[in-house]
Amino acid sequence: MREPAIILFDGECSFCNASVRFILDRDPKRHFRFCPSQTEVGRDLLERAGLPRDGVGSIVLLEDGQVYTHSTAVLRIARKLRGLSPLAYPLRAIPRWLRDGVYKLFAANRHRWKGRIRECRLPSPEERKLFLDTA
């Protein structure tokens, strides 16, 4: 059986938290586990992946022993979701420097455009099991 992929996300970013909710709602096979990158568990995972403990300003996907960031992480996540999200995966044919440029522009402004998290949806007990120990 395959290990679930781990998504490290900015736990203080409203857009990132909305993205986690989006993924939770469209991942019935539970391919993904989640961890805020600001937690000790998140920092340890970043370090083990060879990334800075304070993050890379991007969502990070740890999947099958590989590390994916920026637009590549987003597209690899999208391909596993139900609904129309997998239709975005062919965008990987766009050169990564261009995809990542657009991603980084959005990421640099996400707090200004979407704000920082003030309140969040509490995960159901079933969903809570998908989050790595953040205590």
Residue of higher predicted confidence among 89 and 134: 89
C-alpha–C-alpha distance, residues 129 and 45, integer Å: 18
Contact 133, 84 (CB under 8 A): no
Residue 7's alpha-carbon distances to 62, 94, 112, in angstroms, are: 7, 23, 23
- The chain-wide mean pLDDT, for the chain, equals 86
pTM of the model: 0.84
- Whether residue 34 is contained in a domain is answered as yes
- Whether residue 134 is contained in a domain is answered as no
- Whether residue 124 is contained in a domain is answered as yes
Residue 23 has pLDDT above 90, yes or no: yes
C-beta neighbour count of 117 within 10 angstroms: 16
pLDDT of 135 reads 46
- Whether residue 40 is contained in a domain is answered as yes
Residue of higher predicted confidence among 93 and 117: 93
pLDDT of 8 reads 96
- Whether residue 135 is contained in a domain is answered as no
Mean pLDDT score, 18-26: 93
C-beta neighbour count of 29 within 10 angstroms: 9
- Whether residue 133 is contained in a domain is answered as no
Report the domain count for the chain: 1
Helix, strand, coil percentages for the chain (3-state, nearest 5):
45, 15, 40
Mean pLDDT score, 26-47: 94
Residue of higher predicted confidence among 127 and 84: 84
Mention every residue, 6+ apart, whose C-beta is less than 8 A from residue 54: 43
Cα 47 from chain centre: 16
Query: pLDDT tens across 68-79, in order?
Result: 999 999 999 999
Residue of higher predicted confidence among 72 and 114: 72
- Whether residue 77 is contained in a domain is answered as yes
Residue 120 has pLDDT above 70, yes or no: no
Residue of higher predicted confidence among 84 and 116: 84
C-alpha–C-alpha distance, residues 90 and 10, integer Å: 26
- Whether residue 38 is contained in a domain is answered as yes
SS3 assignment, position 93:
helix
